Chain A
Amino acid sequence: MTPAERHWLIIAGMAAITYALRAAPLILPWRPIDVRIEQRLRYLPPALFAALIVPSLLAPAGTVQGGVRLWAGLLGLAVGWRTRSIPVTILAGLGSFALLRWLVP
């Protein structure tokens, strides 16, 4: 299998899974979902976001990595905390990355 074929197979699988999750309750005979599961799923988004943030910021390649990338990331987090705007936060992070790269060769 070529890498391109592999990418498209994964994308097709993601599409099938996502559609099945959206369509199942609307197409299959409906019954209320287990209350316990529903309750636990409430805490999934914050857990998932944190699980995505911390490793990719501190250890993008599996080992702790400091330097310009980390400082730019932390500056971006501070701006995100203040502004709560995704575009502004990204601009701050990428802008400080470029600036620090230029200052610290």
Chain B
Amino acid sequence: MAHRTTSTEFWDGFLQSLPLWMGVAPFGAVYALAARAAGLNAPETIGMSVLVYAGSAQFAAAALFAGGAGALAILLTTFIMNARHILMSASLAPPLRRYPALSRAGAAFVVVDESYAMSVSRVLGGSGPTFLVGAGVSLYLAWLAGTAAGVAITLGLARPGSVGLDLVFPLSFFVLLLPYLEAPPERIAAVVAGGLGLASRLFLPGPWYLLIAAIGGMLAGDASASRGPKVTRKRGAAAE
């Protein structure tokens, strides 16, 4: 790869990510609808996409804003939802060590699920951070374009909540959840979290239901997996 220029690597990453715009841009629009329904104004909705660039965490934050949650609950939820990025960046770190700290710091901003998926094999193969940055910038533009489109739609609606837009949260997360339900430990994690979430939403004050349910479900899934790892793995593989 020595003959390949940095600019070629960047544009390879950028262009190869274009098909993923199909998924990222509509999700950005859906986020914007949800955030507007939750009471964020247009600059706040767009500003969050510019500064945070994390789809599901922004979604969850909008849901919490809608429920009147406090700052601490929103920030803790952001931390929990994006904790997986530590694992992704950690896996990319060893081959990137020999690159300048500044380029690593820049690449870190665009480590999202989709750019990571596109570039992990190249980065681990030693071709540096440029392809990752190209993919990440491409998907960032898709995210911003989708957000802007969603905001444009909501500006035509007087009260976004009145047309049932708050249903966008549970429906979208349901589709994101479905692939996980094929493996038994993940299924147990979801069922326990759903039950715990409803119970603590009904009987506890404040927005802590989300953290209680997520951590409880995670531990339940982990416990069920370590009880019978071989059986569950096989069943999970067969279901896929």
- Which one of B71, B174, B180, B189 lies within 8 Å of A53 (CB-CB)? B174
Q: Is B81 an interface residue (CB 8 A)?
A: yes
Q: Is B139 an interface residue (CB 8 A)?
A: no
A13:B71 contact, CB within 8 angstroms: yes
A26:B71 contact, CB within 8 angstroms: no
Residues A22 and B108 in contact in the complex (CB < 8 Å), given A9-B71, A46-B180: yes
A40:B222 contact, CB within 8 angstroms: yes
- Chain A interface size, under 10 / 10 to 19 / 20 to 34 / 35 or more: 35 or more
A44:B172 contact, CB within 8 angstroms: no
Q: Collect the chain A residues with CB atoms within 8 Å of residue B60's CB.
A: 48, 52
B167:A33 contact, CB within 8 angstroms: no
Tell me, in angstroms, the Cα distance from A22 to B86 when the chains sit together.
6
Task: State which residues 205-240 of B face A: CB under 8 Å.
Answer: 209-210, 213-222, 225
Task: State which residues 160-202 of B face A: CB under 8 Å.
Answer: 163-181, 185-187, 189-198, 201-202
A17:B82 contact, CB within 8 angstroms: yes
Chain B interface (Cβ < 8 Å from any Cβ of A): 26-27, 30, 40-41, 44, 47-48, 51-54, 57-58, 60-61, 63, 65, 67, 71, 74-75, 78-90, 92-94, 96-97, 101, 104-105, 107-109, 111, 163-181, 185-187, 189-198, 201-202, 209-210, 213-222, 225
